[in-house]
């Protein structure tokens, strides 16, 4: 069902997306010419955890499980976790790589400057979902293809969002901290612990993940709202019981819980600033597994400190990895983690298989599944415009 919806959405997206003009727009052909290709993968380092699970494919050591396959066909496969700064390992390979694979969990930021220096680059693949670490306009102007493994981790992220909602609503973390510090103070937890039933939950964005979350929330008997640029099909709307809210500012004051499920674009960057947060109920709970840069970092800190935000949970930060002095690490009433929601072992198996499939198609000169394209032939998928 999720993959079917993804395909339908992708057809709409590319049918309505606008092209990038300019003489260089189609300068680079997607399909691989004959001969060895240089493929660079950027993944997080697992160190001692790499050997603990044979299906741990999303780390640098696991390398998506495609090294033997690529090298048996004569291709060069370089894998690193070193992606930042002028002297990093990734920079050494920018001038002559053909394909760059990265993940949202340890993103290689592909800037316009890097694209200009990558003279052989043809294909940018995201192992997972979410390609905002790439300058998509620059990629389109350069005639690059950008693709991701659409649908590969949407279940993983939706389940994680539901978990975070419950953690915040039930005030779970103070109780956990009491246990590990040897305390026992029921009142210190119960004074702000609630049932999820009967609460109003609004999702900002009702794409693949947002719809799955709404489906999972229905049995909790919540009042479900959603804001999106597209209204759901009536059948799906009836199935979830969610009500469409065209005006985001009108929806926010109604919500006890707000979940961010919108892509990071020029329009959504910094969307939740001081003014937007002030429109919400005092004590609102916010879950954000979308992208950290959708939030104004300091506005979230201030609102958590004042009590305007009663609890904030998510796994996305800006930048990533988050520096040790990132203020979200130290603000009150937070339940933050590193970026983990979409990199479960199950998700890793799906996006590793998806990357291998697209590489195989690339070598054979075949098209990718339409829903996987983020940039194709100078056009950017509409959800990123």
Please identify every residue annotated as catalytic.
153, 291, 320, 339
Q: And the tokens for 59?
A: 């780390």
Phi-psi region of 199 (alpha: psi -120 to 50; beta: other; left: phi over 0): beta
* 150 within 8 A of 10, measured Cβ to Cβ: yes
**Binding site per annotation, positions for NAD(+):** 208-209, 228, 263-267, 289, 315, 339-342
**Binding site per annotation, positions for substrate:** 129, 153
Q: What are phi and psi of 285, to 5 degrees?
A: -105, 135
* 160 within 8 A of 315, measured Cβ to Cβ: yes
By C-alpha distance, which of 263, 227, 221, 283 is closest to 380?
263
Phi-psi region of 93 (alpha: psi -120 to 50; beta: other; left: phi over 0): alpha
Distance between CA atoms of 67 and 69, rounded to whole angstroms? 5
CA angle 138, 128, 269 (to 5 degrees): 50
**Binding site per annotation, positions:** 129, 153, 208-209, 228, 263-267, 289, 315, 339-342
Q: Which stretches of the chain are assigned E, i.e. beta strand?
A: 38-42, 76-80, 99-102, 123-126, 145-148, 200-204, 223-227, 243-244, 257-260, 284-288, 309-314, 334-336, 373-376, 379-380
Distance between CA atoms of 6 and 371, rounded to whole angstroms? 6
Q: And the tokens for 231?
A: 């209204």
């Amino acid at each position: 069902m999720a993959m079917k919806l993804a395909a339908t959405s992708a057809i709409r997206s590319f049918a309505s997306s606008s092209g990038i003009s300019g003489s260089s727009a189609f300068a680079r052909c997607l399909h691989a010419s004959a001969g060895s290709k240089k493929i660079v993968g950027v993944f997080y380092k697992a160190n001692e955890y790499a050997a603990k699970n044979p299906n741990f494919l999303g780390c640098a050591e696991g390398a998506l499980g495609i090294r033997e396959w690529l090298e048996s066909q004569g291709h060069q496969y370089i894998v690193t976790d070193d992606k930042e700064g002028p002297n990093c390992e990734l920079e050494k390979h920018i001038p002559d790589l053909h394909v760059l694979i990265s993940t949202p969990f340890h993103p290689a930021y592909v800037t316009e400057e890097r694209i200009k220096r990558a003279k052989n680059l043809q294909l940018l693949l995201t192992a997972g979902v979410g390609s905002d670490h790439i300058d998509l306009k620059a990629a389109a102007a350069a005639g690059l293809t950008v693709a991701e493994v659409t649908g590969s981790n949407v279940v993983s992220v939706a389940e994680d969002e539901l978990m975070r909602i419950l953690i915040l609503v039930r005030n779970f973390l103070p109780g956990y901290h009491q246990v590990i510090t040897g305390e026992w103070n029921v009142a210190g937890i119960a004074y702000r612990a609630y049932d999820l039933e009967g609460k109003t939950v609004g999702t900002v964005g009702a794409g693949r993940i947002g719809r799955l979350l709404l489906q999972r929330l229905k049995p909790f008997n919540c009042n479900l709202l959603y804001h999106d640029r597209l209204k759901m099909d009536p059948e799906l709307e009836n199935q979830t019981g969610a009500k469409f809210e065209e005006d985001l500012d009108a929806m926010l004051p109604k919500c006890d819980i707000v979940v961010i499920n919108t892509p990071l674009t020029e329009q959504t960057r910094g969307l939740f600033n001081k003014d937007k947060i002030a429109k919400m109920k005092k004590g609102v709970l916010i879950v954000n597994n979308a992208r950290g840069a959708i939030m104004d970092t300091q506005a979230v800190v201030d609102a958590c400190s004042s009590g305007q935000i009663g609890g904030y949970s998510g796994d996305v930060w800006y930048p990533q990895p988050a520096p040790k002095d990132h203020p979200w690490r130290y603000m009150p009433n937070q339940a933050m983690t590193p970026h983990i929601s979409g990199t479960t072992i199950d998700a890793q198996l799906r996006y590793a298989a998806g990357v291998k499939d697209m590489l195989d198609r690339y070598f054979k000169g075949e098209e990718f599944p339409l829903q996987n394209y983020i940039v194709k032939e100078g056009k950017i998928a509409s959800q990123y415009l």
